């Protein structure tokens, strides 16, 4: 499926980091991008920059997600591309100082990182399935979800984050199989250490130390590299039902 001029796309968590880079890359290729995010200031600013649309969205709320899709589709038409980048990364051990992990924090990580992906993906797929195919293979749309290398090598203090991202990885194949008759492809990307706002706030020497953990290239990933993979997935119809690691061959140590 080629990313054609005027094709509608939705990026959750599109106000910053990997989502913002993806929104920019899709817009450069001619897509009309709707940014779903809670950060109104960042989302509005980027929407103006790329000529897109910002929809303030809580991905854990059915009502908020439905309202955002309704607004985006009214402005741009049915999205053919969904990229889910909205997520949080809480840090807490299973037991710390004799106290168990805060169950509310664990549930919040699952709500945002896993339920939020399921909710937006299933809503988007329902809309895509009602459209006509866009190419000879019968593709009606593409869903790209964001997992993490933490799904496979969760570090100390990442039990909630790792569980949520493992869920995203685990639902990739069954979702792709579910949607195969509708001509909707589903792929997940599992990024390693990328220069997102969270890491940009760390001292330069810490950033360099983290980046050097990757065998090659020995640096933090550039969000533009994540966005480039998203665009390739959209345009390569044979990519389906797979979780693709984008990590410079890193394998995370316990801490």
DSSP for 185-222, written as a single string: EEEEEEE-SB--HHHHTS-HHHHHHHHTTSSSS-SPBP
From the list 161, 187, 234, 245, the catalytic residue is 161
Rounded to the nearest angstrom, the gap between the alpha carbon of residue 167 and the centroid of all alpha carbons in its chain is 13
Active site residue 126: no
Q: Using CA atoms, how far apart are residues 224 and 194, in angstroms rounded to an integer?
A: 10
CA distance linking residue 150 with residue 119, whole number of Å = 22
| Closest residue by Cα to residue 124 from 182, 53, 169 | 182
Q: Tens of pLDDT along 110-122?
A: 999 999 999 999 9
DSSP code, position 133: P
CATH superfamily of 8-246: NAD(P)-binding Rossmann-like Domain (3.40.50.720)
Encode pLDDT of 110-165 as tens digits.
Answer: 999 999 999 999 999 999 999 999 988 899 999 999 999 999 999 999 999 999 99
The pTM for the full model equals 0.95
> How do the domains of the chain map onto residue ranges?
8-246
Q: Which contiguous run of DSSP H or E holds residue 143?
A: strand 141-146
Angle between helical axes of 40-50 and 17-28 (0-180°, round to 10): 20
């Amino acid at each position: 499926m080629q990313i054609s001029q005027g094709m509608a796309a939705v990026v959750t968590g599109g106000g910053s980091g990997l989502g913002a880079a993806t929104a920019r890359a899709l817009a450069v290729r001619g897509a009309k991008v709707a940014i779903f995010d809670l950060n109104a200031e960042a989302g509005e600013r980027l929407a103006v920059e790329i000529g897109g649309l910002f929809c303030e969205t809580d991905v854990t709320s059915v009502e908020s997600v439905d309202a955002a899709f309704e607004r985006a589709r009214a402005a741009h038409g049915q999205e053919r591309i969904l990229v889910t980048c909205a997520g949080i990364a809480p840090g807490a051990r299973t037991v710390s100082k004799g106290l168990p992990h805060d169950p509310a924090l664990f549930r919040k990580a699952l709500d945002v990182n896993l339920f939020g992906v399921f909710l937006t993906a299933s809503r988007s797929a329902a809309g895509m399935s009602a459209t006509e195919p866009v190419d000879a293979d019968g593709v009606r749309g593409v869903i790209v979800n964001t997992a993490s290398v933490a799904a496979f090598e969760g570090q100390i203090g990442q039990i909630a984050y790792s569980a949520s991202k493992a869920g995203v990885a685990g639902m990739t194949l069954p979702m792709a199989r579910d949607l195969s008759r509708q001509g909707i492809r589903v792929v997940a990307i599992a990024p390693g250490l990328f220069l997102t706002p969270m890491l940009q706030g760390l001292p330069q020497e810490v950033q360099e130390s983290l980046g050097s953990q990757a065998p090659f290239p020995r640096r933090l990933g550039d969000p533009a590299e994540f966005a480039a993979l998203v665009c390739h997935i959209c345009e390569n119809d044979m990519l389906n039902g797979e979780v693709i690691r984008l990590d410079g061959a890193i394998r995370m140590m316990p801490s």
